Amino acid sequence: MLLFIAANAAAEEGMFLFTNPPKKAVADRFGFEMTDAWLQRVQKSSIRFPNGSASFVSPEGLVLTNHHVGASQIQELSTKENDLLANGFCAKTREEELPCKNTELLVLQSIEDVTGRVKDHVGLSVALFKRRLELEKAGVLPEETSPTTSSEVAEKARRAVIAAIEKESLDTTGLKSNVVTLYQGGQYHLYRYKVYTDVRLVFAPEQQAASFGGDPDNFEYPRYCLDCAFFRVYENGKPASTPDHLGWARENVKDGEPVFVSGHPGRTNREYIYDHLCFQRDFVLPRTMQRLYRLESLYSVWAERSEENRRRVKNELDYIKNSRKVRLGQLAGLQDPVLIGPKFDPGDLNSFRSTKDAEGEWKTEVIPGNPDTKRIYTILESWREFYDDYMLFEGGDAFNSKTFQIARTLVRLARESEKPNAERLREFQDANLETLKSRLFSDAPIYEDLEILKLTDSLSLLLTFRKDVIPAGPARKVEGEPNPVHPAGHVMGDTSPIKRATELVKGSKLRDVAERKRLAEGGLKAIEASDDPMIEFALLVDFHSRKLRTRYETDIEEPLKQAYAKLAEARFEKYGDTLYPDATFTLRLSYGAVKGYAEDDGTAVPPWTVLSGLYDRAALHTNQPPFDLTESWVRAREALDPETPFNLVSTNDIIGGNSGSPLLNTNAEVVGLIFDGNLQSLTGDMVYTDIQSRAVSVHAAIILEALRKVYGMERIAEELTGP
Amino acid sequence: MLLFIAANAAAEEGMFLFTNPPKKAVADRFGFEMTDAWLQRVQKSSIRFPNGSASFVSPEGLVLTNHHVGASQIQELSTKENDLLANGFCAKTREEELPCKNTELLVLQSIEDVTGRVKDHVGLSVALFKRRLELEKAGVLPEETSPTTSSEVAEKARRAVIAAIEKESLDTTGLKSNVVTLYQGGQYHLYRYKVYTDVRLVFAPEQQAASFGGDPDNFEYPRYCLDCAFFRVYENGKPASTPDHLGWARENVKDGEPVFVSGHPGRTNREYIYDHLCFQRDFVLPRTMQRLYRLESLYSVWAERSEENRRRVKNELDYIKNSRKVRLGQLAGLQDPVLIGPKFDPGDLNSFRSTKDAEGEWKTEVIPGNPDTKRIYTILESWREFYDDYMLFEGGDAFNSKTFQIARTLVRLARESEKPNAERLREFQDANLETLKSRLFSDAPIYEDLEILKLTDSLSLLLTFRKDVIPAGPARKVEGEPNPVHPAGHVMGDTSPIKRATELVKGSKLRDVAERKRLAEGGLKAIEASDDPMIEFALLVDFHSRKLRTRYETDIEEPLKQAYAKLAEARFEKYGDTLYPDATFTLRLSYGAVKGYAEDDGTAVPPWTVLSGLYDRAALHTNQPPFDLTESWVRAREALDPETPFNLVSTNDIIGGNSGSPLLNTNAEVVGLIFDGNLQSLTGDMVYTDIQSRAVSVHAAIILEALRKVYGMERIAEELTGP
């Protein structure tokens, strides 16, 4: 695909590495020189938030992100009495800033290219393995049983060397260290992060103000969302000193002005070959959407039964609705010949052609000389065979419950801890253990009724897919004969989904953090001695789940990585560093311009909206949810400047994960806050166009105006702009 | 299954034929003698409404049914200015009664057993066919090409003889005549109906009052729904004379009092064998629910975008939500060993047993001597093979749009009209033509935007299932090569679902009734000359759709019918007329008692609710939708007796289609109006229990109270009770 993209790349396409910034393109396009100092400052001001991006906007640790990015944190601070999501939160003094549960903010300190070391180690391991096979065959060495394929060896070796690099780095620098796989395995970079764990909530508007228009307006534009929130990081009980931070623009950004986004785009598939896109379109997306539709209905119906239900499930429901809309947009793009057509047979490395066979049927064939595209096709075919089972068991679709997730983590933690670091599942390796434990021991509320609802539904889903007896493997407590009426007898305990879910959830003590700690500290012994039904259940399904995980990593993930690595290599040879790698939820820079666009019917859409439009829109919908104004905005109306810019669009190339990223001018000053893309941007996953696709930001001006005149947060406005 | 049911039948189970009423059971249980006069009166007072049941409740053609049963009629009378669903409707005089569009009410006049004639004709045709085959084989007769199997012959013969019987009866009596297949083909009865086509709306409450609590409360109990509406049938411009009608109870029904339901239960599957239930559970229901979840999301999101959208899609959305809840309940029942367990291996005609094979896997096998159960299993296996394709093309899942339905009907009408009556598709046979045309020429509104939305979504669904080129067959206008990027090129016209849907819907003139009439009158010639894009589209997919229809009727429907007929025969031999046949959307009688029940946690649920509970429930939900009171009920509160019974539960065995049925006492007086079942009744499709399963009615008392004191409809209250 990239051939096409590279050849026809839209002017402002690209999510660039900070180690390979688009200096020339930006200079050519805007006459702006991105200096190394500018880049350093932006990099060290950029923050990775658990579910998105953020930035430092004052020297005293003040953090700006989206309300929807910080929503989990805000919800976890809510109580039945005070729903901070609904009511918003304003810390009038620093003392009132509320410590969040279980929140880690990461700031990228350095990037090191470790491609050579990873590739050397993998190459050597495979060579050694092949040599041993020869010797075994020759009878010189006795036969060993595992591993059995060089792909397995490669995967293991890569995991081992990455784990070693990360551990060395952590031990040496004390910084959180992650090896990032770029270009589908073409490059490996070591990213070192400073970690902030004392994060406090400073300000959040009411969710209704943050996401005015709700799901109907999601991904739409023009918009009127104050989708922002402020947090502050602390060290040793005091606001952290953050000399690297962004300024705040004193003037409103202009139409056509160059703007930059520094953030963490999550995942793109722009290097996918045509068949891979078809696999996504015809196999993965329809399945994903089935799950999303199902959960959307389940959660919506439950939310309708009471206000308390609605509060409990709101975040999960919003997430599902958002995902559904994104997937729908992606599918629409992939089903549109205008979009996917050019991806077909671009005539170069990623090369297919269509011919008619004897019966007059169209066949797609790989042009000889591109074995890697053929290999990718074959790998995807075998992925089909166990995709559903994988998603149910290892993906957890069959056990949708936080209690189960905790139980599985405890069971695996006990088992993995007994292995050498390099051989553990990735999430249990030393470099990731702290994050894992902070999540495991979070005291965020878990609602018994919602847990039962979700687990009932997902066990019912399991029964639809699996009529046979679950292969129980060497797990403990597999007794009795399966029930012929309910062949998934062991897992279902011979009863109905609702009764099984009820007994598992109600019987479990894992909602108590102390019990989790006791089991985690007790290791395998404590797990085996436990009679917690959810622990027993997690043990029961773990053998099968892990088998699927191994199969996926060995037969799919690793071979795909290798095939794409070869394609990526070939691309490098041809295109050098004009290419940017697919998004990996690590720090990237994108450039663009503030710019309106035209809808299909010719309607001109302006580059930004203004405040008065918010009141007009609410009036048009007779102030009915989700288009209702909050009391605070009704009250403040007279004081506010109706011409204040509210939301704005720009051509920056972004994707999910970029939410909360600052939109910067050439002075590295905040002019906006990325919070969404328009409908036409939803295919950005696969392809970027600058015709209608736009990034949507909260305008810096409305943030100041609202802080001052709606929320009485002058102290923060002053911290942003200086006195 | 019936063996089990018959042996263990719950006291009040059964949807009885009027030709075989449960006189003895009722006499034994309640000491009440159902006389033939009583039965005749109830039969002739009972009405089949397009989507449910109804009854005559005055000598002047006054019809009582549910608001939700008449909702299509009410919506079709609505305008953008006056939404009768939302606002309700009260005809203060007979002159104000509003003529409905396209509505036929049927009243059953007589029942004739035609089993002998049908079976004779089918038997003879098959014998002749076999003889001809022998003669062909012997070279005595030249070989013919079709039909090729005796199952095909039987199906054709049955269709022919049924069409002949219906036509004879229509010609002789002038009454609408339908042959009803009972006991899965064990019996055939000829039902003759008087048809009323001038139906006028008399009274409808606000939909919010009718379905207070909305989807969250649907199938729940206790309830507070005034789910009733009144219509009136006219003949020659005057209220029809209906001497056969029900009385109105002057006293409230008592706890434990015997009550009867006369109505049209739509469909039950109580004769299904175990494997058929598993087929429903594991194959059909999950697929159906996927579609429902998808449409629920599609319609909900669209409804949220504006009030007008919400009005336009409301009925369809309510229908989807209702179906989803029903299917969920059914699935839950089928996944519960307590419910489905007893259906497994009851040890008689429907006989399976489970054994372990060599590998220790459980296998289910049919006990020798029951070839019909084995045959059913085999038929269902072959149904799997083309089920999806059938639902997409012939079921219309791929072309979800009223405009398409009209186009398909026009195309088929032209083609079928050229065939002899007996050879036509069922819906185009003479006996059904009038109904078909009244629907085809209905001027009920069709919304272009909603049509595009639905068709876009369903074409996208089609693309997910069918990557290949649609077999275009001998249809006209199949030109050009398929597009290799979009292999379903012909159907998709080489463009995206949204663009294709837009061009089809916007380009079509079929929303104009006159154009439909022109095409219908012009016959095949007019159809072939038409350049309406939707007509061309319907032509394009018709060949493939009809092939699937034929395959279904020949390979699935007919052999299943035969296999079940054999099982039914065997059952008859053993159990005689203690059995009732599965529901067939024809008139049935059920008996039961007014009776509360206990929830799983022991909570006692009373047999009826009272009016004050409505106000309490609204207050609990702070009067928020869907628990908001209408202005009329807020205003009337003081005038109303808070102790008036509102909704009530009884043990009657009902199912969807019974909605709108009168609940009668032994005097054939209305004591309530069936409108729902509780959650525990949702498995009634497969199995009836009287433990918690209950039919839910609007109490007769609240109907009178509301007519008089909320809606100022004293004239109707008086017509019901007499002056």
Q: pLDDT digit string (tens) for A235-246?
A: 999 999 999 999
Q: How confident is the model at residue A565 (pLDDT cuts 50, 70, 90)?
A: confident
For residue B628, pLDDT over 50 is answered with yes
Q: Do A216 and B364 touch (CB under 8 A)?
A: no
pLDDT at residue number A152: 83
Q: Give the bridge partners for B502, in sequence order.
A: none
Strands (E), B578-624: 588-593, 597-598, 604-605, 608-610
- Tell me the nearest-neighbour CA distance from B335 into chain A, angstroms: 6
Tell me how far apart the alpha carbons of residues B422 and B161 are, in angstroms, rounded to a whole number. 8
The token pair that represents B695 in the structure block:
């039919």
Considering only residues B245 and A7, tell me which one the structure prediction assigns the higher pLDDT: B245
According to DSSP, the residues that pair with B53 across neighbouring strands are: B48
The predicted model gives A23-32 an average pLDDT of 93
Whether B344 and A286 lie within 8 Å, measured CB to CB: no
Please, what sign has the CA dihedral across residues A581, A585, A589, A594? positive
pLDDT tens column, A209-244: 999 998 888 888 999 999 999 999 999 999 999 999
Is residue B83 within 8 Å of residue B76, measured between CB atoms?
no
pLDDT score for B344: 52
**What pLDDT, on a 0 to 100 scale, did the predictor assign at position A723?**
73
Give the integer Cα–Cα distance in Å for A295 and A456. 12
Q: Taking CB atoms and an 8 Å limit, are A485 and B335 in contact across chains?
A: no
By mean pLDDT, which of A270-274, A357-361, A675-679, B363-367 is the weakest?
B363-367
Q: Which chain B positions have a beta carbon within 8 Å of A364's beta carbon?
A: 484
Instruction: Give the DSSP letter string of A85-131.
Output: HHH-EE-SSGGGPEEPSS--EEEEEEEEE-HHHHHHHHHHHHHHHHH
Optimal mutation site among B297, B306, B327, B600, interface A, most CBs of chain A within 10 A:
B297
pLDDT at site B219: 87
Strands (E), B557-653: 588-593, 597-598, 604-605, 608-610, 645-650
A379-388, B376-385, B559-568: the lowest-pLDDT one: B559-568
DSSP H or E run through B670: strand B669-677
Does residue B5 have a pLDDT over 60? Answer: no
pLDDT digits (tens, 9 = 90+) for A490-520: 788 777 888 889 999 999 999 999 999 999 9
Nearest CA in chain B to A461: B286
Residue among B214, B215, B460 whose CB faces A335 most closely: B460
Out of A216, A300, A463, the one facing B305 most closely (by C-beta) is: A216
Q: List CB contacts (< 8 A) between A398 and chain B.
A: none
CA nearest to B656, candidates B581, B707, B709, B585: B585
Looking at residue B418, its amino acid is E
Query: What is the reported pLDDT for A343?
Result: 58
Q: Which token pair is A645?
A: 């810019």
At B701-713, the pLDDT tens digits run 999 999 999 999 9
**Amino acid, single-letter form, for residue B660:** G
- pLDDT tens-digit profile of B192-208? 999 999 999 999 999 99
Residues of A in contact with B485 (CB under 8 A): 337, 340-341, 344
Which of A338, A362, A499 to probe the B interface (max B CBs under 10 A)?
A362
pLDDT at residue A577, as a whole number: 64
Average pLDDT over residues B248-263: 96
Cα B213 to Cα B399: distance, rounded to the nearest angstrom:
33
Distance from CA of B377 to the nearest CA of A (A): 16
* Gap between the Cα atoms of B177 and B110, Å rounded: 10
Cα distances (Å, whole numbers) of residue A302 to A321, A323, A324, A452, A456: 15, 19, 18, 12, 13
Per mean pLDDT, which range of A45-54, A610-619, B4-13, B67-76 is the poorest?
B4-13
DSSP state of A250: S
**Above 50 in pLDDT, residue A476?**
no
Is B262 in contact with B555 (CB distance < 8 Å)? no
Q: What is the pLDDT of residue A600?
A: 66
Say if residues B244 and B60 touch (Cβ distance below 8 Å).
no
Nearest CA in chain B to A471: B361
Is residue A645 within 8 Å of residue A705, measured between CB atoms? Answer: no
Q: Which of A232, A241, A236 is nearest to A99 (CA)?
A: A232
Q: Which tens digits make up the pLDDT trace of B75-97?
A: 999 988 999 999 999 999 999 99
Total length of chain A: 723
Nearest to B283 by CA among B356, B318, B334: B334
Say yes or no to pLDDT of B484 above 70: no
Which of A6-20, A559-573, B145-159, B371-385 tops mean pLDDT?
A: B371-385
Which residues on B lie below 8 Å from A483 (Cβ)? 337
Highest mean pLDDT among B21-25, B58-62, B79-83: B58-62
CA gap A575, A570 in Å, rounded: 9
The predicted model gives B348-364 an average pLDDT of 45
Answer whether A337 sits within 8 Å of B483, measured CB to CB: yes
What is the bridge-based pairing of β-strands B597-598 and B604-605? antiparallel
- The answer to whether A534 and A407 are in contact (CB under 8 A) is yes
Q: If you measure CA to CA, which chain B residue comes closest to A365?
A: B484
C-beta atoms of B496 and A364 within 8 A: no
Structure tokens at B561: 């019918």
Q: What is the pLDDT of residue A365?
A: 44
Over residues A661-671, the pLDDT tens digits come to 999 999 999 99
Element (H, E) at A591: strand A588-593
Letter for the amino acid at A297? Answer: S
CA distance A547 to A393: 10
Paired residues of A352 in beta bridges: A366
Q: Which residues of B touch A484 (CB under 8 A)?
A: 344, 354, 362, 364
For the ranges A23-37, A321-335, A341-355, B370-384, the one whose mean pLDDT is highest: A23-37
pLDDT value of position A145 = 61
CA distance A143 to chain B (A): 29
pLDDT tens, residue by residue, A193-205? 999 999 999 999 9
**Minimal CA separation from B146 to chain A, in Å:** 27
Average pLDDT value for residue range A79-104: 94
Cβ-contact A274, A352 below 8 angstroms: yes
**Optimal mutation site among B357, B486, B496, interface A, most CBs of chain A within 10 A:** B496
Q: How confident is residue B217, by pLDDT bands cut at 50, 70 and 90?
A: confident
Q: Which residue has the higher pLDDT, B701 or B490?
A: B701
CA A408, distance to chain mean position in Å, is 21
The beta-carbon neighbor of A335 closest among B336, B463, B484 is: B463
Give chain A positions within 8 Å (CB) of B304.
Answer: 214-216, 626
Q: Could you tell me which chain B residue has the CA closest to the CA of A214? A: B304
Cα radius of gyration (chain A) = 26
Cβ-defined contact of B362 to A293 (cutoff 8 Å): no
For residue B677, the one-letter residue type is G
Nearest in space to B336 (alpha carbons), one of A450, A505, A507, A499: A499
What is the SS3 string spanning B303-356? HHHCHHHHHHHHHHHHHHHHHHHHHHHHHHHHCCHHHHHHHCCCCCCCCEEEEE
Strands B258-263 and B247-248: unpaired
pLDDT at A1: 28
Q: Check CB contact under 8 Å for A337 and B495.
A: yes
The alpha carbon of residue B337 is apart from the nearest alpha carbon of chain A, in Å, by 6
Output the pLDDT for position B4: 31
SS3 category, B225: coil
Average pLDDT over all residues of chain A: 87
- Cβ-in-10-Å burial (0-12, 13-18, 19+) of A134 comes to exposed
Mean pLDDT (whole number) for B480-497: 60
How far is Cα B364 from Cα B354, in angstroms, rounded to an integer?
4
B371 falls in which pLDDT band (50, 70, 90)? low
Task: State yes or no: pLDDT of A535 exceeds 50.
Answer: yes
Cis amide linkage into residue B581, ω under 30° from 0: no
What gap in Å lies between CA A294 and CA A300, rounded to an integer?
10
Residue A362 has pLDDT above 70, yes or no: no
Name the maximum alpha-carbon separation found in chain A.
90
Chain B residue nearest residue A220, CA to CA: B305
Chain B hits for A289, CB-CB cut-off 8 Å, are 294
CA distance A8 to chain B (A): 20
pLDDT for A344 equals 52
Say if the Cβ atoms of A335 and B497 lie within 8 Å: yes
Strand, coil or helix: B699 = strand
Whole-number pLDDT of residue B345: 46
Average pLDDT (A569-597) is 85
- Cβ within 8 Å of residue B134, ≥6 positions away: none
Span B291-300, mean pLDDT?
97
pLDDT in tens, A410-444: 999 999 999 998 889 989 998 889 889 989 999 88
* Distance in angstroms (rounded) separating the CA atoms of residues A456 and A399: 9
CB B509 within 8 A of CB B515: yes
pLDDT of residue A480: 39
pLDDT, average across residues B5-12: 45
| pLDDT band with cut points at 50, 70 and 90 for residue A316 | very high
Residue A353 has pLDDT above 70, yes or no: no
CA distance B518 to chain A (A): 33
Q: How does DSSP classify residue A569? A: H
Residue A502 neighbours by CB distance under 10 Å:
18
